[in-house]
Amino acid sequence: MGMWFEDFIVGEMFETVARTVTEADVVTFSGLSGDMHPLHTDAEYAKATPFGQRVVHGALVLSLAVGLRGRTGRFDDTLIAFLEIRSWQFRRPVFIGDTVHARNEVVEARASSKPGRGVVVQRVEVVNQEGEVVQSGDMVTLVRQRP
């Protein structure tokens, strides 16, 4: 099921399944990351901001995007390493109860100088249940060539 370097064709897209971001996710991420900014953990404070309610941590949504991509199983045997995140923009707030998925487009695929591996750049957009792009940027991974 894994995708080898040769399987990544520039211009091809895939979409992941979706996931609802729950209050429990936000609470767990606050504790795990240590980011307890009142915007995420204090409902009274959040009510008084322009958002009007608690906002999901940007880095949690980014982490969900990584996880949703991984859940496809495509990288289970073929990924060597996650190299870089480029120009990752937090474009719209995500709220508790929103459902997000990731849209992935191969924008670059080049063989590495080391044999047997290649660098794949994917343009990733995280999309909510309204079809709005909430985050986007490029994820760069190092992938095995087909043996």
Residues that bind its own copies (CB under 8 A): 1, 17-20, 22-25, 27-39, 41-45, 54, 57-60, 62-64, 66-73, 75-76, 79, 81-90, 97, 99, 129, 137
Q: How far is the CB of 123 from its own copies (least distance, A)?
A: 15
User: Of the two residues 40 and 106, which places its CB atom closer to its own copies in the complex?
Assistant: 40
User: Of the two residues 105 and 140, which places its CB atom closer to its own copies in the complex?
Assistant: 140
C-alpha 144/C-alpha 97 separation (Å) is 37
Q: How far is the CB of 17 from its own copies (least distance, A)?
A: 6
User: Of the two residues 70 and 110, which places its CB atom closer to its own copies in the complex?
Assistant: 70
C-alpha 93/C-alpha 128 separation (Å) is 10
CA–centroid distance for 45 within its chain = 28
Q: How far is the CB of 88 from its own copies (least distance, A)?
A: 4
